[in-house]
Amino acid sequence: MKTDEACTRRGMWCASEMKRQRNELDEVTVTLRALDMFCKQLQLHLSHNIDEVTVTLAVKGTPHGFAVSSGFASYTTISNSLMSTYTKAGQFDGPLLIFETLCYTDIVSWNTILLGFRTSEGALNFALRMNFNGVVFYPVTYTTILAFCADHEDFLFGLQLHSLIFKSGLDGEVFVGNVLISMYSRLRRLIEARSVFDEMANEDLVSWNAKLSGYSQEGNHGLEAIFGFIEMVGEGMGLDHVSFTSAVSACGHEMNLELGKQIHGLTIKSGYGSHVSVCNVLISTYSKCEVTEDAKLVFQCMNDHNIVSWTTMISINEEDVISLFNEMRLDGV
């Protein structure tokens, strides 16, 4: 008995120590150590000490067969862990089978399956099934479904979800509001996107960027994007590559070369002067404003180029098409 208790205490200490060191270990190392501890318990004939928590932790190392044969798979937390492990590995048939055989499901079970869908149609149909079964949606449930609505371009479904979010009192959650803004923006419903933004009590960088991206993607809303960027700077909000990409793109839509140059200077001061996506938009903007020399200079100052960088340069250098194409091939693009 003392040996059993000592082993149990040792296992608890190891789990605590692994948690402390988790930031210093990669996922493979953590998995191997968890499996090693699990196997030692079996070798020492301590299976009577293996409980639901132990199997849940060890299942991340894939002892699925043991979980099933021992009966532990009937525990919802263990099945949830199994489903999560499979979905993260890109396997979805297994989690679906496990889910359909569960006697009891909780919100984690439903959300795990929802996150595993690769198509919007399948995810939205599953969301309807969740609602039909009376599952209470959590914030992560709403944000996941809203993202699928944007991909599926299903405005009506998204609008109904927005209504449910409002009724459930989750409209005050910042990350829920951010996903709503992104969804409406991608569906070109900019009035609704702006309404969500204006009603938010606390906006963060993602909120501002979602609004800017929506305006800059629509060619006839460049001014709104520019004013939004200026307001963002005035609020002292930190800027990132998404902010700069949207603002520069808006300058291109409005053919506002002067402001585009000012924002270019700000990108350099902020450390984003060589960021690939920012530079690509700068090249495009200078090209639209017929300042090709500045566009070429931006290209030359870039540390890395992608297919967008090269194709944009090729489009504005008709006389050097062959030369640029060969350079692109040498660059491995």
For residues 294 and 261, give the distance between their C-alpha atoms in angstroms, rounded to a whole number: 10
* Domain membership flag for residue 243: yes
Name the domain boundary from 141, 166, 196.
196
More confident residue, 50 or 244: 244
Residues 180 and 228 in one domain: no
Per-residue confidence at 68, pLDDT binned at 50, 70, 90?
A: very low
Q: What is the per-residue pLDDT across 184-201, written as a single tens digit (0 to 9) for each?
A: 998 889 999 999 999 998
Burial group, residue 14, by CB count within 10 angstroms (0-12, 13-18, 19+):
middle
* Domain membership flag for residue 256: yes
* Domain membership flag for residue 148: yes
Q: Does residue 130 surpass a pLDDT of 90?
A: yes
Residues 151 and 214 in one domain: no
Q: What is the per-residue pLDDT across 289-316, written as a single tens digit (0 to 9) for each?
A: 999 999 999 998 898 889 999 888 888 8
- What is the residue-averaged pLDDT of the chain? 79
More confident residue, 59 or 303: 303
Residues 212 and 276 in one domain: yes
Residues 152 and 190 in one domain: yes
Most confident of 18-22, 34-38, 128-132, 318-322: 128-132
Residues 172 and 226 in one domain: no
**pLDDT value of residue 5:** 53
* Domain membership flag for residue 59: no
Name the domain boundary from 196, 228, 260.
196
Most confident of 9-18, 91-100, 103-112: 103-112
Rounded average pLDDT over 86-104: 80
∠ Cα 109 114 115 (to 5°) = 100
CA distances from 72 to 7, 45, 56, 76 (A): 21, 17, 9, 9
* Domain membership flag for residue 169: yes
Residue type, 227: F
Q: What is the per-residue pLDDT across 244-279, written as a single tens digit (0 to 9) for each?
A: 999 999 999 999 999 999 999 999 999 999 999 999
What are the φ/ψ torsions at residue 267 (nearest 5 degrees)?
Answer: -65, -40
* Domain membership flag for residue 132: yes
Sole residue written with tokens 């932790």: 57
CA distances from 110 to 63, 171, 314 (A): 22, 22, 49
Percent of the chain topping pLDDT 70? 77
* Domain membership flag for residue 29: no
Residues 218 and 278 in one domain: yes
The residue range of the domain holding 150 is 117-196
Residues 228 and 190 in one domain: no
For residues 249 and 213, give the distance between their C-alpha atoms in angstroms, rounded to a whole number: 9
Residues 209 and 244 in one domain: yes
**Using the 8-state DSSP alphabet, how is residue 137 labeled?**
P
Burial group, residue 330, by CB count within 10 angstroms (0-12, 13-18, 19+):
exposed
Residues 167 and 216 in one domain: no
* Domain membership flag for residue 230: yes
Name the domain boundary from 196, 224, 250.
196
Residues 185 and 138 in one domain: yes
Q: Does residue 129 surpass a pLDDT of 60?
A: yes
CA distances from 143 to 54, 119, 165, 189 (A): 31, 16, 10, 18
Number of domains in the chain: 2
Rounded average pLDDT over 35-41: 49
